[in-house]
Amino acid sequence: MEYLLGIQGPDFVLVAADTVAASSIVHMKRDHDKMFKMSEKILLLCVGEAGDTVQFAEYIQKNVQLYKMRNGYELSPTAAANFTRRNLADYLRSRTPYHVNLLLAGYDEHDGPTLYYMDYLASLAKAPFAAHGYGAFLTLSILDRYYKPGITREEAIEVLKKCLEEVSGPCLAFFVWAGILGLGFIFCPVLPGGGNKHRATRCEICYWGISLPVPPHLVAFMFSRL
């Protein structure tokens, strides 16, 4: 079951994605990374057809990095979202459309935290919270019930836990990895088993787990101004 989740607060964005690569009812792997670092302050989450997700996300990733090399500065999250949407719309009208659903999260010095929702038809919307995948059908009501404009980091994590409890079943488990990241976004996975808190360069990492049998994983990152 694919699942992407994003929650925007007044000074942070919390995003989460499962790491299961599946074909029909078969789980082919459980360490599939669905998060793509666009820049130091922008993260793209992508689900959909297996080949399309990696190819399209890496195409956008490399073009965002190329823009920085050519111009000497990074795209803002809003600019990156519109660039992604335009490319997805162009491919939709070609013979090789991409079937991908996206969340784009970022932090901008002027606009603060931003979260964008985009579907495979290239519809783009800025949202306070968003979800993709089968898990979205089960958890959007939870997000609508518990989200509030001034939500704190601790409250956002509690909402995330409620969502995970809802999508968890007798054959599922989620190991949630989370980090509160500073202005310079650091894309560093946190492996379980190393203690409740770790210090990494310019960021503080913590993780927790909701344990049930057979564990597909879910990875979460929170980044903001500290």
Assess contact for 87 and 80: CB atoms under 8 A: no
1 DSSP 8-state letter: -
Token pair listed for 10: 């007044």
**187-210 per-position pLDDT tens digit:** 333 333 333 333 333 223 333 333
- Band (pLDDT 50/70/90 cuts) for residue 1 is low
Assess contact for 108 and 39: CB atoms under 8 A: no
Q: Is 116 a residue whose pLDDT tops 80?
A: yes
Q: Which residues of 66-93 are buried (b: 16+ CB within 10 A; e: fewer)?
A: ebeeeeeebbbbbebbebbbebbeebee
**58-115 per-position pLDDT tens digit:** 999 999 999 999 999 999 999 999 999 999 999 999 999 999 999 999 888 888 889 9
In 3D space, the residue among 75, 133, 140, 76 whose CA is nearest the CA of residue 103 turns out to be 133
Residue 153 identity: R
Res 195: pLDDT: 33
Res 196: pLDDT: 32
pTM of the model: 0.79
Out of 3.40.50.300, 3.30.43.10, 3.60.20.10, 3.30.300.30, the CATH code matching 3-206 is 3.60.20.10
- For the residues 155-160, what does the mean pLDDT come to? 86
Beta bridge partners of 210: 174
**162-196 per-position pLDDT tens digit:** 887 788 763 444 444 444 333 333 333 333 333 33
- Determine what percent of the chain falls in helix, strand and coil, rounding each to the nearest 5: 30, 35, 35
Query: Helices (DSSP H) in 112-152: which residue ranges?
Result: 134-146
